[in-house]
Copies of this chain bind each other. A is one copy, B any other.
Amino acid sequence: MARTKSFDPAQVLHQAMLLFWREGFRQLSLENLVQKLGVNRYSLYQTFGNKQEFFQQALVLYTDTVFNRLLLPLQEQQGKTAIVAYFRLLQRQLQNDQASAGCMLLNASLNAGQLSEESLNLIKASLRRQEESLKKALQQAMANNELNRPRDPLTASRFLASQVHAMVLLRQNAGKKRVHDVLEFMIAELEAW
């Protein structure tokens, strides 16, 4: 009866996610998407909806496969160990080439005016989850007497989240080596907490 799709939607969405991640919603034109994905314009509309909806699906995929995966050490380990493991995993991820595109969530939130309400909500929820995970680990660390001096867990978790954002931002403007050195420095500071 029906002709089959000549492309795999999941694979195309993954490629589109990498493109949206690097170029941003507004900068990446549909013309570019058609060319770089090798998929017909109209097929993209039929499969993924309009550009906003397409971006939203890419954002969800990014959150699931990149952002949340990075948070795993904070859920699998305890206290200060978990926090250091989180930064170590970040260190490894930032050495990937695609990390030079920064964080898709942060990039998107800086261009909030272009996004749908739905996308903004997803971004906010993800960043809050990051902060919450850090706060929980910090509370454990303090309960275990793992810190040299007491710190307010809420403010400290926001501080640490900011540190992560700073490293991701640095990766967008600088080379791998500089990021590696600064992040090692940061981990050393954290070990001395």
Contacts and interface: CB of A to CB of B under 8 A. Distances in A.
Q: Copy number of this protein in the oligomer? A: 2
Contacts of A106: 169
Contacts of A29: none
Instruction: Name which of A155, A156, A159 has the most chain B CB atoms within 10 A of its CB.
Output: A159
B113 A27 contact: yes
Contacts of A181: 155, 158
A102 B107 CA distance: 13
A12 interface: no
Contacts of A158: 170, 178, 181-182
A110 B162 contact: no
Given A106-B169, A127-B173, A162-B182, 6 more contacts: A27-B111, A102-B110, A159-B182, A162-B167, A166-B166, A166-B169
- Pairs of residues from A and B, 4 with the lowest C-beta to C-beta distance, nearest first: A166-B166, A162-B166, A155-B185, A159-B185
Interface of A: 26-27, 102, 106-107, 109-111, 113-114, 127, 151-152, 155-156, 158-159, 162-163, 165-167, 169-170, 172-173, 178, 181-182, 185-186, 189
24 contacts: A26-B27, A27-B111, A27-B114, A106-B169, A107-B110, A109-B173, A110-B110, A110-B172, A127-B173, A151-B185, A152-B185, A155-B185, A158-B178, A158-B181, A158-B182, A159-B182, A159-B185, A159-B186, A162-B182, A165-B166, A166-B166, A166-B169, A169-B169, A189-B189
